[in-house]
């Protein structure tokens, strides 16, 4: 665990509580705490003195600086907005940035999202993989691998790295260790996926060290991503799902998990602004910026849901004009 930062501003005691809260939730990223420390340093040196998070201080801090990259400003905006929302949830008076303030982050890479029908076809093909003597258990492991990635929104590397003791077959909770951003997280499975894991475990008769792979390769070690990707592309071809140079890839199952959940929530009229932090934590994102692109993808792919989703999340979903910068 990183050493606890020393804060110097009048907001220091609140920032200490916020960092402790983040760590209790499993956040271990040094960069996230560095952003918080930068805000503390600014607040300590600022002529704007207050022991609460004021509008004046927030607006001064997030103002774009000469020659500054937009992503740098976005990090500052995200830091103080998340801090403000934390304070308000704790019943502490604080200024929260209004909707429409967060600038749009532009991505050159557009993730592939499979339809629910394509996911079903892909999994069915994986279930039908034949036994091969040189790839023992592949026909059992790969269907489980794909189900865990899609059903839990895991990164491919996270699924490959699962150990036997990371999968609680009683509670149905996965422990994803030191994932991206060096952050552990607990991921609960749906009941139907838990039952599948229980049957899989009994069928594969995994033995040995509890730190052994839950999804073992033919050699008994951990699968590497390229091998998983090769099998995934084989399944795509058999399922009749087109594959291009940029995808779909195994990681598309994770993208599909996020978008499919947002679509379901939007269709059911759920409060996405309230649910989004849970999705962000479930996916292991450091902050809501990582989840923002899934919101944009969802509203672009399903225009009928834009109004429902934008009602609570317009601070993350830009107006059309923002694309023209």
143-183 pLDDT, tens digit each: 999 999 999 999 999 999 999 999 999 999 999 987 665 67
Cβ atoms of residues 143 and 112 within 8 Å: no
Residue 98: its pLDDT value, please? Answer: 75
Question: Which residues, 6+ apart, have CB-to-CB distance to 201 below 8 Å?
Answer: 167, 169
Lowest mean pLDDT of 90-104, 117-131, 208-222, name the range: 90-104
The architecture that CATH gives domain 116-239 is Orthogonal Bundle (1.10)
Residue 282: its pLDDT value, please? Answer: 86
- Give me the sign of the Cα torsion angle 57, 61, 66, 71: negative
Question: Which residues, 6+ apart, have CB-to-CB distance to 203 below 8 Å?
Answer: 140
Q: How confident is the model at residue 312 (pLDDT cuts 50, 70, 90)?
A: very low
Cβ atoms of residues 74 and 61 within 8 Å: no
The mean pLDDT of 187-196, rounded to a whole number, is 95
Return the percentage of the chain with pLDDT > 90, whole number.
46
Residue 125: its pLDDT value, please? Answer: 97
Lowest mean pLDDT of 44-53, 265-274, 303-312, name the range: 303-312
Cα 79 to chain centroid distance, Å, stands at 17
Question: Which residues, 6+ apart, have CB-to-CB distance to 314 below 8 Å?
Answer: 99, 100
Mean pLDDT of the chain: 83
Most confident of 193-207, 231-245, 310-324: 231-245
Return the percentage of the chain with pLDDT > 70, whole number.
80
69 or 191, higher pLDDT: 191
- Rounded to whole angstroms, the Cα distance separating 60 from 55 reads 8
Can you give the C-alpha Rg of the chain in angstroms?
22
Closest CA to 150 of 77, 248, 28, 55: 248
pLDDT exceeds cutoff 60 at 322? no
Closest CA to 113 of 262, 253, 299, 295: 253
Lowest mean pLDDT of 54-63, 93-102, 198-207, 223-232, name the range: 93-102
Cβ atoms of residues 316 and 97 within 8 Å: no
Residue 154: its pLDDT value, please? Answer: 94
The mean pLDDT of 83-101, rounded to a whole number, is 86
Give pLDDT tens digits for 235-265. Answer: 999 999 998 877 799 999 999 998 898 888 8
């Amino acid at each position: 665990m990183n050493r606890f930062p020393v804060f110097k501003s009048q907001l220091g005691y609140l920032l200490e509580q916020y960092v402790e809260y983040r760590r209790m939730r499993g956040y271990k990223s040094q960069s996230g705490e560095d952003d918080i420390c930068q805000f503390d340093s600014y607040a300590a040196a600022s002529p704007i003195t207050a022991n609460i998070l004021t509008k004046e201080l927030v607006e001064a801090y997030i103002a774009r600086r000469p020659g500054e990259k937009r992503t740098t400003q976005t990090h500052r905006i995200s830091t103080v907005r998340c801090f403000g929302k934390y304070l308000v949830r704790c019943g502490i008076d604080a200024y929260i940035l209004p909707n429409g303030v967060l600038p749009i982050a532009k991505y050159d890479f557009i993730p592939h999202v499979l339809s629910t029908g394509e996911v079903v076809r892909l999994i069915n093909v994986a279930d039908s993989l034949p036994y091969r003597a040189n790839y023992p258990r592949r026909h059992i492991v790969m269907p489980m691998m794909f189900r865990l990635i899609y059903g839990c929104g895991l990164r491919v590397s996270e699924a490959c790295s699962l150990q036997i003791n990371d999968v609680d077959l009683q509670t149905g909770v996965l422990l994803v260790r030191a994932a991206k951003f060096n952050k552990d997280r607990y991921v609960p499975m749906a009941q139907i996926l838990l039952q599948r894991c229980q049957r899989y475990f009994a069928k594969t008769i995994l033995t040995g060290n509890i730190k052994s792979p839950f999804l073992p390769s033919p050699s008994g070690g951990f699968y590497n991503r390229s091998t998983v990707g090769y099998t995934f592309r084989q399944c795509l071809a058999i399922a009749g799902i087109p594959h291009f140079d940029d995808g779909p890839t195994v990681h598309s199952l994770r993208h599909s998990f996020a978008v499919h959940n947002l679509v379901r929530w939007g269709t059911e009229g759920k409060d996405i602004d309230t649910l989004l932090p849970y999705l962000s934590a479930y996916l292991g994102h450091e902050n809501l910026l990582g989840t923002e692109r899934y919101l944009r993808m969802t509203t672009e792919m399903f225009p009928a849901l834009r109004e429902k989703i934008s009602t609570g999340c317009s601070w993350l979903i830009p107006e059309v004009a923002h694309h023209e910068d």
